[in-house]
Amino acid sequence: MKKDLGLINGTTRRTLVHGFTAAAGALAMPAIVRAQTPQVMKVGTPTLNDDQHEWMKIFAAAVESGSKGAIKAELYPASQLGSAPRMIEGAQLGTIQVVVLPPEFLSGVDSRYEILGAPGVFKDIGHAQRCLQSPEFNQAFLSIGDAKGLKGIGLFINAQMIINCRTKLETVADIANKKIRILGSAIQTEQVKRLKGTGIPMALGEVLPAVQQGTIDGVLGSLPVMTALRFYDAAKYILDTEHATISVVSVVSKVWYEKLPKDLQAVVDQAGKKASVDVYPWAIDFNEKQRKVWTDNGGEIVKLSPDAHAELMKLMRPIGAEVASRKPAEKALFDLLVKTAETTA
């Protein structure tokens, strides 16, 4: 009997061992599958073939390499994921992982995002880039959206401001009574207002048809965006005011980001910083080339004389401080921007 019991116990023991092993294997399978299947990271921007698009390419390559394939990037330029407001909402909800666009688009989320468009803060593009990459200001600006589901991971300069129009612009006085597309921030609204025009907030995908149809007269923007989207076919005149700069911020969905393991979070953070630095020389070269692209395609560029530019800046320079002073948090960040601009000049 003992021998029989021994056989039964041995058989039972082997059965249990095999059973537990199979069960453990079954439970482990989903984890293995998850580890082998890359997480999709959708990255969207309103523009195409410009520095925002280039930032996305640099960022995507760094994330895929740094994560060893655990994250797979999908790039969607030219508003393929929707208008800027829809992309921002998608990032807050977690359906879009990364959005790359001028921070003024985010001024509805938090008004502090608009301060980088303040006229007269930066001497030139190089000065702007140094200021944006200064650690204290960079960290403060990228943290603006933390409470709204948006984690900043990249900040870089796009270009200096120009005004594009369907009719010829010789001086800033020619802006009077014209409807000019803006990004919707109070600072940009005030710029057009002081030129006696009307600022019209509008998604980028709607702008070219509106110009073609005469719904609006022109655009407050940057030359690289105008050339990339072939605005010279509908509005060939540019007044090169250089009174402010256009920057770009990249935000990641906190819903998505906080589900990542810590090591992959670090990869995303590092890739955002790397792309924001690496894209700068590309952007400078690209900006220079766009002038020739514009004129080669029949576009015209009028540059303000030094005296006219000085007069324009007298009108524009106070805007940032005046708008920021309406809200304490915005004023505090604007003051930090001005301080950082002074130390990086």
Residue in the block written with tokens 């401080």: 321
Which CATH number applies to 37-344: 3.30.420.40, 3.30.565.10, 3.40.190.170, 3.40.80.10? 3.40.190.170
**pLDDT greater than 80 at residue 20:** no
36: tokens are: 């082998």
pLDDT at 10: 43
What mean pLDDT do residues 170-189 have?
Answer: 96
What mean pLDDT do residues 291-307 have?
Answer: 96
What mean pLDDT do residues 247-265 have?
Answer: 98
Are the C-beta atoms of residues 187 and 114 closer than 8 Å to each other?
yes
pLDDT at 36: 65
Distances (CA, A) of 267 to 66, 67, 278: 6, 6, 16
- Domains of the chain: which residue ranges? 37-344
222: tokens are: 């940057």
| Residue 343: burial class (beta carbons within 10 Å; 0-12, 13-18, 19+) | exposed
For residues 156 and 277, give the distance between their C-alpha atoms in angstroms, rounded to a whole number: 7
pLDDT at 271: 98
What is the gyration radius of the CA atoms in the chain, in angstroms?
A: 26
Residue in the block written with tokens 């509106």: 210
34: tokens are: 């998850």
**Nearest C-alpha neighbor of 84 from the set 187, 163, 182:** 182
3-state helix/strand/coil string of the chain = CHHHHHHHHHHHHHHHHHHHHHHHHHHHHHHHHHHHCCEEEEEECCCCCCHHHHHHHHHHHHHHHHCCCCEEEEEECCCCCCCHHHHHHHHHHCCCCEEEECHHHHCCCCHHHHHHHCCCCCCCHHHHHHHHHCHHHHHHHHCCCHHHCEEEEEEEEEEEEEEEECCCCCCHHHHCCCEEEECCCHHHHHHHHHCCCEEEECCHHHHHHHHHHCCCCEEEEEHHHHHHCCHHHCCCEEEECCCCEEEEEEEEEHHHHCCCCHHHHHHHHHHHHHHHHHHHHHHHHHHHHHHHHHHHCCCEEEECCHHHHHHHHHHHCCHHHHHHCCCHHHHHHHHHHHHHHHHHC
pLDDT confidence tier of residue 31, bands split at 50, 70 and 90: very low
For residues 280 and 248, give the distance between their C-alpha atoms in angstroms, rounded to a whole number: 11
pLDDT confidence tier of residue 3, bands split at 50, 70 and 90: very low
Please report, as a single letter, which amino acid is at residue 45: T
Q: For 70-97, write each residue's pLDDT tens digit.
A: 999 999 999 999 999 999 999 999 999 9
CA 184 to mean position of chain CA atoms: 15
For residues 42 and 96, give the distance between their C-alpha atoms in angstroms, rounded to a whole number: 6
pLDDT confidence tier of residue 27, bands split at 50, 70 and 90: very low
Q: For 309-321, write each residue's pLDDT tens digit.
A: 999 999 999 999 9
**pLDDT greater than 50 at residue 343:** yes
